[in-house]
Amino acid sequence: MSSFESLLVWQKAHELTLKIYEITKLFPKEEIFGITSQIRRAASSVPANIVEGRKKKTVPHRLTYISHSVGSLEEVKYFLLLSRDLNYISNELYENLKPLTDDVGKLLNGYEKFIKNDNYQS
């Protein structure tokens, strides 16, 4: 089995996480334990769960971790919307990040189907 780093779904999720960390550097300091912390945890959870689930021995266990990634991605989407509505990020930045979040979602969906078809080799 190749490294998790070779998975396109992981690469895109990692890219999203890096972007989230970069934009949240500019958030108000009073949000360090609020939105900043939550969106960073949610974003980093997406690729982390891909990595962890990849090593699970059974299909149901693998799918559980992909499901966690999907849920965390939805959290990221919400926190980006909230950040825009609170004027922590511009509408332009929000709209620029949407395609990446959509891509990660599509890739997670495809990865989930791949695992369900049991084409996944441990």
CA–CA dist 2, 27 (Å, integer)? 37
Domain limits of the chain?
Answer: 4-116
Residue 78's contacts (CB-CB under 8 Å, 6 or more residues apart) are none
DSSP letter, residue 87: T
pTM of full prediction above 0.85? yes
Give, in order, the Cα–Cα distances in Å from 82 to each of 2, 12, 21, 35, 40: 37, 22, 16, 9, 14
pLDDT score of 55: 87
Query: Which pLDDT belongs to residue 38?
Result: 98
Topology classification of domain 4-116:
de novo design (two linked rop proteins) (1.20.1440)
pLDDT (tens, 9 = 90+) of the chain, 122 residues, equals 578 998 999 999 999 999 999 999 999 999 999 999 999 999 999 999 999 998 888 899 999 999 999 999 999 999 999 999 999 999 999 999 999 999 999 999 999 999 988 655 54
For residue 7, the model assigns a pLDDT of 93
Structure tokens given for 48: 């982390």
The predicted structure's pLDDT at residue 122: 45
Distance CA 118, CA 18 (A): 31
Distance CA 9, CA 3 (A): 12
Q: What pLDDT score does 3 carry?
A: 86
